[in-house]
Structure 1
């Protein structure tokens, strides 16, 4: 694991462990990369509860309870969807903190309103409102996804 990913992952691990909290990740465009980075750390079962890779819209609905109406009205890459993904990750896990990510890594799939590199994130603690933010990353598919992993980890750190 490179330092760009390892440093925030290790810091997040230490904070979760210190606070005796568990994290769940709901991933779309990152395809499980967040879960991989976190579980690369020995002992991660003490603070990483589970990951959901919900790449398709039906998976978002079935595994996380994202509403079909939300997807139809806003599209998968949107603030309402990542909020529902984070809430669903909490509802379908024993975690106290959830993060979610959905974006357009490219090279296809973009629209004028949502160009390649558009990624929505949400972070939520159980019993609290979600925090959501959109980033626009540059680079190829790999670069967009890598940047998304870093932001997802940093956002979870900020919530703690």
Structure 2
């Protein structure tokens, strides 16, 4: 099966504007992604000249990767689940700790079509963004069961907007 994701010109323009704003402020960005599987990093890195702003991206799809790469405590994942505010905050904080970035954003959610529960349905996504030594902003969005491709695309869009608000 081949799946093509067209991120779209609007999101690409917003990503370019984010990079320009970060560049003007001397900031560097790290991403920590789960349900988007690197799509946010791919969107940012597709923009020419991004290397002076986009420091690195972590794709931590499994719980083990969240712990090993970002330092998210296993007990935190066991207690709250990978799709939770606490884990999203820990992922963003871990991205800052494990990089030279000054800003980080994380995305963890359920893109579907499987994996949803009554408490955490398909389309539920948690985001966190912030700077070192400051409280992380958090957002939880229930996109609904729009299909895997659309949930991932909208998650990238929301992560870019959240990062921009931290700037």
> Retained in 2: the 8 A contact 1:82–1:101?
yes
Distance of 2:113 and 2:10 partners within structure 1: 23
C-alpha separation in 1, matches of 2:15 and 2:82: 26
Deviates more, 1:1-10 or 1:99-108: 1-10
- Equivalence for 2:16: 10
The Cα shift of 1:90 comes to 0.2
Task: Report 1:5-154 matches (<5 A).
Answer: 5-138=11-144, 139-154=146-161
Aligned to 1:156: 163
User: What is the root-mean-square deviation of aligned Cα atoms in Å?
Assistant: 0.7
Unaligned runs of 5+ in 2: 1-6
SS in 2 for 1:94: coil
How many residues matched? Answer: 160
Q: What is the rounded CA distance, in whole Å, between the counterparts of 1:38 and 1:156 in structure 2?
A: 12
Separation of aligned partners in 2, 1:4 and 1:69: 39
Distance in 2, matches of 1:77 and 1:119, equals 7
Secondary structure of 1:21's counterpart equals: coil
Alpha-carbon distance in 1 for matches of 2:13, 2:132: 25
Normalising by the residue count of structure 1, what TM-score does the alignment of the two structures yield? Answer: 0.98
Q: TM-score under structure 2 normalisation?
A: 0.94
Extract structure 1 runs of 4+ deviating beyond 3 A.
none
Determine the C-alpha separation between the residues in 2 that align with 1:49 and 1:104. 26
